């Protein structure tokens, strides 16, 4: 049963990477962002293999699953951002709303730093013997990426329930008032 899930995720990752390489080749040959995403997909597959099939302890499996969840959300957010800019030309990251290699590279750098912060939080919890720091950091990033994915979907014209739109507006106002 778990072998099937593992093989399915691997197959989807390979197909997604092939599509991303084709898009990267057509859109921007100077920056190999599809390679970075490919590395992230490979990492996700390794994490999945360790979490499901590995003989590691509970803590290692939990960390692997947490990282896999974060990587999935980061990837979905990045892909929806690419679709917003490449297909709909409504990106808020560039002046004309279209794909721009510099904006994409900055986005990938931010995603990489997000993973580093999660890894540091995991290590801090190991040192302190708790789960609080990791959980707080992961919850914050999961909420942030989920909001970003919903915003991207809205820019694509996907109907978003008004309750979710209002909740996002409240969160943004709270964040602005704290700054």
How confident is the model over 46-85, as pLDDT tens digits?
766 766 666 556 666 677 777 778 888 998 999 899 899 9
Q: Which residue did the predictor score with more confidence, 54 or 22?
A: 22
Instruction: Yes or no: say if 52 and 8 are a contact pair by the CB < 8 Å rule.
Output: no
Q: Which two tokens stand for residue 140?
A: 């914050």
Instruction: Give the closest residue to 62 by CA, choosing from 144, 131, 145, 142.
Output: 131
Positive or negative CA dihedral for 95, 99, 102, 103?
Answer: positive
pLDDT at site 54:
63
Q: What is the mean pLDDT of residues 97-106?
A: 86
Q: What is the pTM of this model?
A: 0.68
pLDDT at site 57:
63
Element of type H or E holding 170: helix 162-178
pLDDT at site 48:
67
């Amino acid at each position: 049963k778990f072998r099937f899930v593992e093989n399915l995720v691997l197959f989807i990752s390979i197909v997604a990477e092939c599509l991303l390489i084709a898009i990267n080749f057509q859109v921007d040959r100077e920056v190999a962002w599809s390679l970075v995403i490919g590395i992230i997909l490979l990492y996700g597959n390794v994490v999945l293999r360790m979490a499901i099939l590995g003989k590691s302890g509970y803590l290692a499996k939990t960390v692997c699953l947490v990282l896999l969840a974060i990587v999935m959300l980061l990837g979905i957010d990045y892909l929806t951002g690419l679709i917003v800019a490449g297909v709909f030309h409504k990106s808020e990251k560039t002046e004309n709303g279209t794909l721009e290699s510099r904006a994409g590279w900055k986005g990938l750098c931010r995603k990489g730093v997000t993973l580093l912060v999660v890894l540091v939080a995991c290590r801090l919890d190991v040192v302190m013997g708790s789960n609080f720091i990791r959980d707080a950091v992961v919850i914050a990033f999961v909420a942030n990426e989920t909001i970003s994915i919903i915003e991207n979907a809205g820019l694509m014209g996907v109907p978003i329930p008004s309750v979710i739109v209002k909740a996002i507006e409240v969160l943004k106002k709270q964040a602005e008032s704290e700054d």
